[in-house]
Amino acid sequence: MWQRAESPQCVFVLDETALRRPIGGPAVLDAQLGRLMELAVMPSVRLRVVPLDAGAHVGLTGGFLLAELPDGERVTYVEDVARGHVKVTP
């Protein structure tokens, strides 16, 4: 697996149900979990799992992305069932 010399640092947060629900069948789930394991050992990748016993949390309403650009500007993208929107913070 390749990686750039200065790869961005990426943190991925998954709900535990995404790792357990066998959509596509067991073979698909096995392949997906295998790929996550490959990526999780990369130095620029951090994989975090929100456990089922955490109960309700803000991530249940939809996906989100937080990014800090090289100039220090921060960008947030939040998505729900109706729409997505971007917020830029200097």
| C-alpha separations of 72 from 12, 44, 65, 85, 90 in Å | 20, 18, 16, 20, 7
Q: Are 57 and 50 in contact (CB under 8 A)?
A: yes
What pTM does this model have? 0.70
pLDDT digits (tens, 9 = 90+) for 54-90: 988 877 888 888 888 888 899 988 887 788 888 887 6
Please tell me the number of Cα atoms within 13 Å of 26 on its side-chain side: 0
pLDDT digits (tens, 9 = 90+) for 32-43: 999 999 999 999
Segments making up each domain of the chain, as ranges = 1-52, 56-90
